[in-house]
Amino acid sequence: MEAPSMAATERTVLQFSSSQSLSAKVHPLVVFNICDCYVRRLDQAERVIGTLLGSILPDGTVDVRNSYAVPHSESVDQVALDIEYHHSMLLSHQKVNPKEVIVGWYSTGLGVTGGSALIHEFYSREVPNPIHLTIDTGFTKGAGTIKAYVSHNLSLGDHQIAAQFQEIPLDLRMVEAERIGFDTLKATAVDKIPSDLEGMEALMGHLLALIDDIHKYVDDVVERRIDPDNKIGRFISDAVGSIPKLPSSAFEKLVNDSLQDHLLLLYLSSITRTQLSLAEKLNTAAQIL
């Protein structure tokens, strides 16, 4: 075998040191924690940053389940983190739930900023391949935009010269009860928190809209206006198959009975609150007399 030529040995290669393909799943608690920290921030702070806790699922998805804020200060060309506070909070969290480990960090604001690379470098020393979660608490685009990123290193030979943030798929899937609260909190202006009945009404309206979309899709497939998708067809088949085969009258009675039970619980809870309030006032009056 011939020895490599001098030109080949001296050639400088520009390459990306890319991490494995990742996706992330964020629980609503994390979003609420971050928004709460942003509301309570110091007046001079433009954004808040913090640590993301969770685990790595067997399929490689980063499951983000908790978070805490980390005090920091930043200027144009430098960022200072309270590392001692960060480690103290991590130790406290792991005493409660030792299965939660560092999976990345978050910041408020729209997208990645100049100081993000410095903070990401610190978390890269804490955990391999951390994710970076951003939440637009300023509602720049009319809603709270949530995105997740990973960092890829750009190297010139053996020297790292830059870091590039690449957006990864983010799953904000949640149960309907969580989604109603999340949709309420992410709105720019809310007159009041919806009651249980108002939440149920909004949920039924959303369900009817989904049924209309499915009905239109099936009609388009039957009329050959669009190509069929076997995956969507299986989802529709599973959804239809899960519906109990009941006459419409029996199904309506079942829904009404469930609604009446729900209203009864609301009535009983209201009576309980009234009784406790009355007992407290009587106790206060007895102590004064």
Mean pLDDT on 154-175:
74
pLDDT number for residue 22: 78
Residue 127 near residue 102, CB atoms below 8 Å: yes
Instruction: Decide if pLDDT at 194 tops 70.
Output: no
Residue 56 near residue 131, CB atoms below 8 Å: no
Mean pLDDT for the chain overall: 80
Q: How far apart are the first and last CA of the chain?
A: 106
> Which region, left, alpha or beta, applies to residue 120 given φ > 0 means left and ψ of -120 to 50 means alpha?
alpha
What pTM was computed for the model?
A: 0.58
pLDDT band at 2 (very low <50, low <70, confident <90, very high): very low
Q: By percentage, how much of the chain surpasses pLDDT 70?
A: 79
CA dihedral 278, 280, 281, 285 (to 10 degrees): 140
- Domain boundaries, given as residue ranges, for the chain: 23-176, 194-243, 245-283
How far apart are alpha carbons 167 and 147 in whole angstroms?
7
Instruction: Decide if pLDDT at 113 tops 80.
Output: no
Contacts of 236 (CB under 8 A, 6+ apart): 214, 218
Instruction: Decide if pLDDT at 240 tops 50.
Output: yes
pLDDT number for residue 118: 82
pLDDT number for residue 44: 72
pLDDT band at 51 (very low <50, low <70, confident <90, very high): very high
* Domain 23-176: top CATH class: alpha beta
Instruction: Decide if pLDDT at 144 tops 70.
Output: no
